[in-house]
Structure 1
Amino acid sequence: MSKTAVDVVVIGAGPVGLTLANLLGQQGVEVLLVEQGEKLIDYPRAVGVDDEALRAMQTAGLVDEVLPHTIPDQKIYMVNGERMILSEVNPTTREFGWPRRNGFVQPLVDQVLLDGLDRFPNAAVRFGAEVTDLVEDADGVVATLAGGETVRARYGVAAEGGASPTRKRLGISFEGETRPTDGIVIDVANDPIGTPHAVFGGDPARSYASIALPHGIRRWEFTLFEHETADLVDDDAFIFGLLAPHVPDPGKLDIIRRRVYRHHARIAGRFRHGRIFLAGDAAHVMPVVGGQGWNSGIRDAFNLGWKLAAVLKGLSTDALLDTYETERRGHVTQMVAVSLGMAKEMTDHDPEKAAERDRLAANRTPEEREAQKRQAFKPQPKFERGVVVHTPLPTFKTLPARDVPRLAGSIFPQPRATDADGVEMLLDEATGQGWRVITWNNDPTAFLPGERLAVLERLGAHLVQVVPTTQLPWARKHAAAGVTVVGDLGGESSLQAWFDAHPVGAVIVRPDHVIAAECLAQELGDVLGKVFEAACIA
């Protein structure tokens, strides 16, 4: 019986396992990714990647390889059985630096993530390696593979899908519901329609989706009725009958693949069991209508990745890992509920309910339609607990009295800015990745005692001084040692606009771009100390 020792063993080479392995590999963590299959899965799954996930790809250094497999700013039309538009989803903001909605081809993006592991000698992947058991002992975890080989690791992450054998062996519940009807997915090459948008059809006769994908691919999804069996997926006459109302000649379609899937909405009873973590579909599943299953899994990997690395490098204590579930559960619960609600609204075949839905849609106000258009129904991550320090609104007379929500626990924006030489780029590229202390106009070191600076240095944090581009030559000349100067471009989405809108002069940003705390410049030293406590800095 051979043994392998690593820092982290990740089970499942889906998008979550692949993303997590890349993030850990980037941090110098020794990670082994094991996958039961002989190669990456290529059957139909996710078709939408959002701005948060693209920012995670940017952090992992792979966004340039991912973008060629996307359709940016993909518009969605929700229509009824008569093809009348119920609502339009077309968010065009770049709050986090990337388009909020993007169509994509998942197998090709998964391949980008797999190829990305070649960059790291400390990251390895094993295909054809089924994990038959994963147990915890006093020193870590031991994964047993189907041939008797064992892998010892300090931590284990199960990202092997909704049927997660690890979750089942641990006896962790998976509460929720399964929709009574299945769906059928059909992917077609040489798109016979050729339009760039997606259509979700809430037709009581049979609900459907038609989605343009990159590289001339189109996807159709149809709801099956309870009396229709899964083997119909292999019946050409049935498939052509589904497609007949959508294309001139179904018999001439170049069908790549077709598959039946189930609509689940479930959340694991816990995401952590000692040194074992659940991530992605192993921890939560949701109907595909909301387009957030893939993205929610990427958020898991992004949240867990930096925390595992911090603990394994001795920067934080193991208690930091408790915040993974603390932070992720609330948001994913919201996302599952939204996805389930959308699924019920668009796939309900009761004509009376469909008519009521259509009536409500027709009576929406212009403001409600605009909210739908900008995707306001999608809950943004906002952590009330975890690695978050909530500071009270300042009451000093220098600041106007405004009822402004505190943003600690939410994602810091990523506008375009410049480096110290005036070269324009996205903010994360200008500041550097990892922990960041960002101040407007001020030298951050002027407000930080030596012991705080020493901890920041140990964390590899970036001290960032943001100034208007007019001040760049002066700021670059007079910047303190170790301070990164960033030029603000001005305008509605600039950092100056962000600081104008919030009564703070400093913000502490975590490696996953979440605001750990915000404060006045003079408070920075004390608030940073509280952040260190929340992050269990060793």
Structure 2
Amino acid sequence: MLPVIIVGAGPTGLALALALARQGVPSHVLEPGDGRVDQRPARSCVLPPDVAHWAGLPGAADRATTWHAWRTTLRGRTRERVEYAAGTAPTHLPLDALEHALRLAAAGRRLIRIDTRSRLSGIEQDARGVTAYVYRGDRDAGAGREEKVTGSHLVGCDGARSTVRKLLRVPFAGRTSVERHAVAALRADLPDPATAALHRALPAAHGPVDEVVVRPLGDRQWRLDWPLPTGEELVTPEALLDLVNRTLTAWHDGDIPPYDLLDTGVYLCHQRLARHWRAGRVFLAGDAAHLLGALGTQQTAEGLRDADNLAWKLALDWHHGDADALLDTYERERRGAVGARLRAVDQALPLVRGRGGIGALLPGREHSRLTLLGDAPLGRGALGEPGTYPQPRSRYGVAVSTEPGAVIDDLPVTALNGDRGQLHDLFGGPHLLVLTAPGAGVWDACHWLSAGLMPELAGVVKRLPVEAELLVADSYPGAPAHTLLVVRPDGRLAAALPGSAISELVRYAHTLRGPAEQPPAVTGRD
């Protein structure tokens, strides 16, 4: 069988390759660079709980830190402090640590092939697969050759200047430079080492700091971000050092504490969205499909959500075929979610960053600013929630605390062989069917395997047209006893059904394989 071709070996591309491998699908990753990962402590990413499993890979876990709380201050006084409940805190780690861990994991999988110095120059596709024209070697020096690589599908994870997107002639609408930030990574002893914080109008000995976000990175390391005025004014090293010193004096009674400056930089936040994410057997993901980052939104996290969403759908089509309608839902779900996030940023920016005008006279504006700036790190509202994908409604559906299409809560589950674990640890594999059965956590599996609905459900699961695993849990918030939770491989609740609604479960499984109209083939050459 042909592999899935993945263009780009950044976090999104490598995560997609690993997610496909877990589903038994081979991939061929094409990387134009030499495979080296630049170490830049000032480049980090914040991963919300629904994608934080990627930070648990060997090589990343020891450099990741999970925050205990979020604090917002105004003029040095705390206006809000939120302690993260178990399972709700984001994970913060250097981007190079995540990339290194993904490469390490990919190198150990026989289903993943990574070719460096391989630059895409053209795409052709038909009903059977995709052909990628790849130039191997140094094209500028004339040292190399063009080859053909064939695959079942192709996914462009090749960044903001995506060659795949350009070959498909897909518009990349939006705005650039909606926010500009100075950033520094340093090692120092700062207050509240497990708390991330936003400080506005921070009083300092040598002049106030308008705004700074401080995020712990672990091992006494911190990332500090300061929003800069819009424009092209050069940020000199001296100006950035002054920002660091003024900020530190505010927390140390006017004195500059000992610190090691590890890295600095200036980065721009863009707002862009590709018009289409699918053209036949070719898809866009990550930076190739969208750009965001203003007001604390996290581009890396959105790229990982793309990978989790697309992988299981590609896998089902790769193994069984006839999943065209399911593949269409990738663009509908992910582009819809990212588009909603971009619209929320567009609506919030004038309030948060605007100066003067009639809005400045409105009561409560500063409170609204602080609330909006805390939404993304707290995972709340349109800026921070992982989003809910629209799902077909079932006439047999049972109302539970989680809306269909949202990320399901984590809970202890028991497999049919008696193994116990956490539900979230099983994401990325087959569909999960969780039956709520009070007392299941107490009794040995041999007592309930032959009782009630279990024998019939176990038999039906074996005959479903998609792979699924049956699990049992004591309960789920808002769910009556003997509710069957249908959980997609990306951790989203597909449906909550009465355990006896066997026909509805079978109907759902068959809809995943439903055909759709095949879009016209797209061909491009560079």
Give the TM-score range, shorter chain. Answer: 0.7 to 0.9
Find out whether 1:16 has 2:41 as its counterpart. no
Quick one: structure 1 residues 194 and 127, their matched pair in 2 at CA, closer, same or farther if it must change by over 3 Å?
A: farther
Instruction: Measure, in 2, the Cα distance between the counterparts of 1:112 and 1:433.
Output: 20
Instruction: Measure, in 1, the Cα distance between the counterparts of 2:308 and 2:476.
Output: 27
Pick aligned residue for 1:40 from 37, 40, 43: 37
Residues 364-408 of structure 1 deviation map (CA, whole Å, 9 limit, x = unaligned): 99xx999999643233432224xx4533557xxxxxxxx867732
Instruction: Measure, in 2, the Cα distance between the counterparts of 1:281 and 1:369.
Output: 23
Q: For residue 112 of structure 1, report the CA deviation from its aligned partner.
A: 1.0
Q: Which amino acid aligns with 2:85?
A: T
Instruction: Measure, in 2, the Cα distance between the counterparts of 1:363 and 1:257.
Output: 29
Residue correspondence of structure 1 range 269-284 to structure 2 within 5 A? 269-284=275-290
Residues 420-451 of structure 1 deviation map (CA, whole Å, 9 limit, x = unaligned): 7877631355899411222233655544597x
Q: Which amino acid aligns with 2:134?
A: T
Find out whether 1:123 has 2:117 as its counterpart. no
Pick aligned residue for 1:425 from 421, 425, 446: 421
Residues 44-102 of structure 1 deviation map (CA, whole Å, 9 limit, x = unaligned): 444311110024x39xxx5465432222234333334x2344444543142xxxx4322
Instruction: Measure, in 2, the Cα distance between the counterparts of 1:363 and 1:142.
Output: 48
C-alpha contact 1:191 1:218 (8 A) present in aligned 2: no
- What secondary structure does 2:72 align onto? strand
2:514 aligns to what? 536
C-alpha contact 2:396 2:498 (8 A) present in aligned 1: no
Q: Which amino acid aligns with 2:296?
A: G
Residue correspondence of structure 1 range 152-171 to structure 2 within 5 A? 152-171=150-169
Find out whether 1:517 has 2:510 as its counterpart. no
2:205 aligns to what? none
Instruction: Measure, in 1, the Cα distance between the counterparts of 2:358 and 2:76.
Output: 17
| Worse overlay, 155-164 or 174-183 | 174-183
2:471 aligns to what? 464
Q: For residue 298 of structure 1, report the CA deviation from its aligned partner.
A: 0.8
C-alpha contact 2:188 2:258 (8 A) present in aligned 1: no
Q: Which amino acid aligns with 1:30?
A: P
C-alpha contact 2:67 2:216 (8 A) present in aligned 1: no
| Worse overlay, 267-276 or 83-92 | 83-92
Instruction: Measure, in 1, the Cα distance between the counterparts of 2:159 and 2:375.
Output: 33
| Higher helix fraction (1 or 2) | 1
Quick one: structure 1 residues 407 and 281, their matched pair in 2 at CA, closer, same or farther if it must change by over 3 Å?
A: same
Find out whether 1:416 has 2:412 as its counterpart. yes
C-alpha contact 2:484 2:498 (8 A) present in aligned 1: yes
Pick aligned residue for 1:208 from 208, 212, 231: 212
Quick one: structure 1 residues 309 and 380, their matched pair in 2 at CA, closer, same or farther if it must change by over 3 Å?
A: same
C-alpha contact 1:197 1:211 (8 A) present in aligned 2: yes
Residues 461-516 of structure 1 deviation map (CA, whole Å, 9 limit, x = unaligned): 212244xxxxxxxxxxxxxxxxxxxxx3xxxxxx344423xx87212222112222
C-alpha contact 2:16 2:311 (8 A) present in aligned 1: yes
Residue correspondence of structure 1 range 182-261 to structure 2 within 5 A? 182-190=180-188, 195-203=193-201, 206-230=210-234, 232=235, 235-248=236-249, 253-261=259-267
TM-score normalised by the chain length of structure 2: 0.79
Quick one: structure 1 residues 224 and 411, their matched pair in 2 at CA, closer, same or farther if it must change by over 3 Å?
A: closer
| Worse overlay, 439-448 or 269-278 | 439-448
Count how many residue pairs are aligned between Structure 1 and Structure 2: 479
Instruction: Measure, in 1, the Cα distance between the counterparts of 2:286 and 2:326.
Output: 20
Quick one: structure 1 residues 317 and 424, their matched pair in 2 at CA, closer, same or farther if it must change by over 3 Å?
A: closer
Quick one: structure 1 residues 345 and 205, their matched pair in 2 at CA, closer, same or farther if it must change by over 3 Å?
A: farther
Quick one: structure 1 residues 109 and 342, their matched pair in 2 at CA, closer, same or farther if it must change by over 3 Å?
A: farther
1:53 aligns to what? 51
Pick aligned residue for 2:66 from 68, 72, 79: 72
1:104 aligns to what? 93
Residue correspondence of structure 1 range 282-293 to structure 2 within 5 A? 282-293=288-299
Quick one: structure 1 residues 534 and 122, their matched pair in 2 at CA, closer, same or farther if it must change by over 3 Å?
A: closer
C-alpha contact 1:286 1:336 (8 A) present in aligned 2: yes
Residue correspondence of structure 1 range 311-350 to structure 2 within 5 A? 311-314=317-320, 316-340=322-346, 344-348=350-354, 350=356
Instruction: Measure, in 1, the Cα distance between the counterparts of 2:196 and 2:357.
Output: 23
Q: For residue 177 of structure 1, report the CA deviation from its aligned partner.
A: 2.2
C-alpha contact 1:177 1:266 (8 A) present in aligned 2: yes
Q: For residue 189 of structure 1, report the CA deviation from its aligned partner.
A: 3.6
Gaps in structure 1 of 5+ consecutive residues: 395-402, 467-487, 489-494
Quick one: structure 1 residues 529 and 173, their matched pair in 2 at CA, closer, same or farther if it must change by over 3 Å?
A: same
C-alpha contact 1:177 1:264 (8 A) present in aligned 2: yes
Q: For residue 21 of structure 1, report the CA deviation from its aligned partner.
A: 0.8
Q: Which amino acid aligns with 1:116?
A: A
1:142 aligns to what? 132
Instruction: Measure, in 2, the Cα distance between the counterparts of 1:277 and 1:125.
Output: 19
- What secondary structure does 1:150 align onto? strand
Q: For residue 206 of structure 1, report the CA deviation from its aligned partner.
A: 4.3
Provide the identity percentage.
22
Q: Which amino acid aligns with 1:238?
A: A
Find out whether 1:390 has 2:394 as its counterpart. yes
- What secondary structure does 2:3 align onto? strand
C-alpha contact 1:48 1:104 (8 A) present in aligned 2: yes
Aligned CA RMSD, in angstroms, stands at: 3.8
